């Protein structure tokens, strides 16, 4: 087949006697199928087909080429790219490939389809469009290694359902709206009241049982000796109790939609006003485990600030003063190893090309 095509050479592949490639034709990318064209829609030319990059053709191609389907990554070191417009995946993959070559092929596993519902609303895209755009980028670059698709910052069961239908493999639950930031500095009387008002039925718990589990105990976590007093325990429960209940609810909804071995979960409490302390991280992870939630990654709210286009702003405001962050990260890492193991997720904001690194 000809017709003034400019083929992306890495995309060309033959499978069961049919040749597939991505090419530019009259300024647009098209899928070229030579051989068995059943299931594809487009313009037949000779023994082949020029197929537009539609959702139906994306689905048909995923059915033929298994590496175009996202996979589970487990505890592999991974990087999320957050392609906002659906155009940057080929460049992201080249960056990941270059990184792997520089480290003797011990590279990062990319999470390519990764956009929150908030970002979808702003860009006018759907979870399915995000997935398909990432897949066409994978195809264009001839990427055969595992990659994942992150249904990012999910807040409702409706959001979950849209992403399940689109075939996502990684689900980031964002319970930030249910974190009580006031509890971080509220008086003891106020946090006692907040604890009394927690949804204890949803937490399958009671205030007395909570105290029995945590008070008058020392939790040894590698180099840490964690101890709750009455105030720190009630503050952690008041701050994160509703968020934990919400996370468990969305996780159980996911379990009704997908088998456990077909998705991975991240819990993200990073988009909150106050940092997550070591005690609070331990509390969150312990309570999620008690409720039967299984996850592979957790994103605490770190000290300092990650912002758009900015690497990091320490809480002291002094550029380069990273000691507090390093010490905090070491404590969070110890808890993740002890109560998991699971990865720590650093959500570093957008507009930095590679925007999310999971650290195990």
- Residue 262: active-site member: no
Distance CA 335, CA 333 (A): 5
pLDDT in tens, 293-330: 999 999 999 988 877 666 777 876 655 568 888 999 99
Helices (H) then strands (E): counts for the chain: 11, 18
Residue 160: the pLDDT is 97
The answer to whether 348 and 355 have CB atoms below 8 angstroms apart is yes
Neighbours of 103 (CB within 10 A): 10
Please report the pLDDT score of residue 269 as a whole number. Answer: 93
For strand 310-313 and strand 48-51, is the pairing parallel, antiparallel, or unpaired? Answer: unpaired
The pLDDT of residue 206 is: 98
pLDDT at position 319 is 52
Is 152 annotated in the active site? yes
Name the DSSP class of 228: B
Q: Which residues of 323-350 are buried (b: 16+ CB within 10 A; e: fewer)?
A: eebeebbebbbbbbebbbebbbbbbbbe
Q: Which run of H or of E encompasses 56? A: helix 55-64
> CA-CA distance, 81 to 110, in Å (whole number)?
7
What DSSP character marks residue 304? S
Enumerate the H helices of 65-203 as residue ranges.
89-102, 117-123, 127-141, 157-166, 188-196, 200-203
Kind and range of the H or E element at 212?
A: helix 207-214
Distances (CA, A) of 84 to 44, 47, 121, 329, 336: 33, 37, 11, 28, 30
Contact between residue 52 and residue 7 where contact means Cβ atoms under 8 Å apart: no
pLDDT of the residue at 314: 82
Tokens linked to 4: 């003034």
CA 190 to chain centre: 34
Burial class for 233, CB neighbours closer than 10 Å (0-12, 13-18, 19+): buried
Q: Global pTM?
A: 0.92
β 48-51/18-25 pair status: unpaired
Determine contact, residues 22/140, Cβ cutoff 8 Å: yes
Average pLDDT per 10 consecutive residues for the chain, totaling 360 residues = 82 97 95 96 92 98 98 93 87 89 74 89 93 98 96 95 97 96 96 98 98 98 97 98 98 97 96 92 98 97 79 67 87 97 81 43
Per residue in 5-55, pLDDT (tens digit) is 899 999 999 999 999 999 999 999 999 999 999 999 999 988 889 999 999
- Residue of 83, 174, 180, 266 marked active site: 266
């Amino acid at each position: 087949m000809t017709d003034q095509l400019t083929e992306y050479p890495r995309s060309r592949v033959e499978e069961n006697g049919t040749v597939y490639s991505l090419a530019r034709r009259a300024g647009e990318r098209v899928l070229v199928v030579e051989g068995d064209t059943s299931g594809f829609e487009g313009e037949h030319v000779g023994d082949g087909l020029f197929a537009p990059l539609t959702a139906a053709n994306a689905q048909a191609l995923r059915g033929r080429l298994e590496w175009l389907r996202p996979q589970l990554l487990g505890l592999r070191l991974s990087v999320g790219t957050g392609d906002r417009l659906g155009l940057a995946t080929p460049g992201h993959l080249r960056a990941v490939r270059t990184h792997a070559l520089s480290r003797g092929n011990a590279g990062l596993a990319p999470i390519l389809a990764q956009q929150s519902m908030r970002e979808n609303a702003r860009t006018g895209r759907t979870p399915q469009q995000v997935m398909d755009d990432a897949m066409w980028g994978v195809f264009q670059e001839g990427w055969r290694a595992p990659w994942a698709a992150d249904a990012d910052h999910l807040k409702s069961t409706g959001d979950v359902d849209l992403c399940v239908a689109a075939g996502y493999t990684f689900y980031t639950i964002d319970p930030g709206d249910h974190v009580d930031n006031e509890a971080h500095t509220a008086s003891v009387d106020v946090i006692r009241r907040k604890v009394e008002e927690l949804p204890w039925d949803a937490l399958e718990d009671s205030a007395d049982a909570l105290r029995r589990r945590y008070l008058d105990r020392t939790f040894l976590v590698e180099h840490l000796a964690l101890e709750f007093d009455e105030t720190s325990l009630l503050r952690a429960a008041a701050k994160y109790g509703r968020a934990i209940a919400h996370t468990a609810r969305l996780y159980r909804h996911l379990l009704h939609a997908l088998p456990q071995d077909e998705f991975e979960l991240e819990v993200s409490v990073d988009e909150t006003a106050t940092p997550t302390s070591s005690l609070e991280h331990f509390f969150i992870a312990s309570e999620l485990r008690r409720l039967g939630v299984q996850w592979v990654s957790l994103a605490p709210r770190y000290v300092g600030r990650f912002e758009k286009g900015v690497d990091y702003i320490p809480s002291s405001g002094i550029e380069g003063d990273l000691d507090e962050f390093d010490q905090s990260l070491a404590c969070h890492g110890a808890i993740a190893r002890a109560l998991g193991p699971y990865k720590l997720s650093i959500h570093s904001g957008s507009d930095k090309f590679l925007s999310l690194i999971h650290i195990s």
